Amino acid sequence: MAESAAQPALPALPVTFRPTRTRVVLLSVGLAMFATITAIAFMLENLSGGERVSFVFTAALMTSVLVLLSRPKVVADETGVTVVNLTTTRRLEWAQILRVNLRPGDPWVFLDLSDGTSLPVLGIQPGVAREQAIGDARALRALAEARGTGPRDH
CA distance 144 to 22: 25
Residues 79 and 133 in one domain: yes
Q: Which residues contact 90 (CB under 8 A, 6 or more apart)?
A: 82, 83, 119
Q: What is the mean pLDDT of residues 123-150?
A: 88
| Domain stops at, among 69, 100, 126 | 69
Residues 113 and 136 in one domain: yes
Domain CATH number, residue 121: 2.30.29
Does the residue 108 lie in any domain? yes
Residues 58 and 107 in one domain: no
Look at residue 12 in the predicted model and tell me its pLDDT.
Answer: 85
pLDDT in tens, 82-126: 999 999 999 999 999 999 999 988 999 999 999 999 999 999 998
Look at residue 66 in the predicted model and tell me its pLDDT.
Answer: 97
CA distance 2 to 117: 23
Does the residue 15 lie in any domain? no
Residues 49 and 102 in one domain: no
Query: How many separate domains does the chain show?
Result: 2
Q: What is the domain range of residue 32?
A: 23-69
